[in-house]
Structure 1
Amino acid sequence: MDIRQITPSYFVSPQISPEDAQTIKDAGFVRVICNRPDAEIPPSHQADAMGEAMRAAGLEFEVLPLTHQTMTPENVARQMELASAEGPVLAYCASGTRCTVVWALSQAAQKSSDEILSTAANAGYDLAGLRPTLDAIAAQ
């Protein structure tokens, strides 16, 4: 697993496996958010299989599949609701980028684009191309 910290309570990761559930639980996470649409992956890693494994390990599991088309303000707000838990939350997708982008979009009204992009870069995600969108959200 390649878990990367975005904030003290929000972490992102590329695709995880059902076998990772206990390790995720042992690392202190309380909730896992799947941002990967089932159409992208084999049945063994789709939301139903992942949810079963995560819940069996004692983790909360939420599904919010994200694509460029579904990265709407409503889904950005929903992700941040799901990221609010009584402990650390791990969100995953194919590479962790979508999970980081949705976080970045949620922060645009509160933080500077520089701060958001720096935070993402510190976690290994280059979101520089998102700057115009972050600036536009901040200007609203």
Structure 2
Amino acid sequence: MASVNLIPLSDTLSVAGQISPADLPAIARAGFKSLICNRPDGESPGQFSHRDLAAAASQAGLTLAYQPVESGRVSQPDGQAFADLLNQLPAPTLAYCRSGMRSATLWALSQAGSQPWPALVQRAAVAGFNLSGVVPPTQPSRQ
């Protein structure tokens, strides 16, 4: 699985750039139970669709959830939807997009109600993601 860089953000979530069906057996062997695809289908030529990955994920014993978010347009409601998926899916979870940045942003927004925003930005920075330009949520949006 040398082609996939798994970047841990918490004990139960790691993020990665685009993965392929061939990566899924190794991801399952690494202990992951679920995947969240944050990349819209058709974003780039030659990209694997979430359906291609869902079929291969199922064969590898993984669950895949599809939460497409357009690059540069991650919102607080998207973060809440990500939190809902993390609460529903078996852990640990691997979230992926093109580079991992969208998934890392979604994670930070999903945790904003339970951890201080500066600590989340710092954790993301340690993992290689600059979230300093992300507007912190004013308050958790729980319905």
Same fold by TM-score, threshold 0.5 exceeded? Answer: yes
Q: Give the stretch that moved more between structures: 101-110 or 21-30.
A: 101-110
TM-score by length of 1: 0.87
**Which residue in 1 is equivalent to 2:113?**
109
Does 2:6 correspond to 1:3? yes
* Shift of residue 43, structure 1, vs aligned partner: 5.8
Which of 4, 16, 20 pairs up with 1:17?
20
Contact 1:108 1:137 in 2 (8 A): no
Q: How many residues align?
A: 136
Task: Give percent identity, aligned residues only.
Answer: 32
Q: Is the 8 A contact 1:109 1:137 kept in 2?
A: no
36-45 vs 121-130, greater mean Cα deviation: 36-45
> Which residues of 2 match residues 24-63 of structure 1 at below 5 A?
24-42=27-45, 45-63=48-66
Change (3 A) 1:44 1:106: closer
Aligned equivalents of 2:131, 2:64: Cα separation in 1 = 27
- Which of 69, 90, 93 in structure 2 is aligned with 1:89? 93
Report Cα offsets for 1:40-78 as digits up to 9, x if no partner. Answer: 134661111011111111100110001244x34433222
Structure with higher helix content: 1
* RMSD value, Cα: 2.0
Look up the match of 1:128: 132
Unmatched 5+ residue regions in structure 2? none
Q: 1:30 deviation in Å?
A: 0.3
Runs of 4+ in structure 1 deviating by more than 6 angstroms, as ranges, are none
Q: TM-score, normalised by structure 2?
A: 0.86
What is the alpha-carbon distance in structure 1 between the residues aligned to residue 42 and residue 94 of structure 2?
Answer: 21
CA distance in 1, matches of 2:140, 2:102: 23
Change (3 A) 1:86 1:48: closer
Matching residue's letter, 1:86: P
The alpha carbon displacement at 1:103 in A equals 1.1
> Which residues of structure 1 form unaligned runs of 5+?
none
Structure 1 equivalent of residue 138 of structure 2: 137
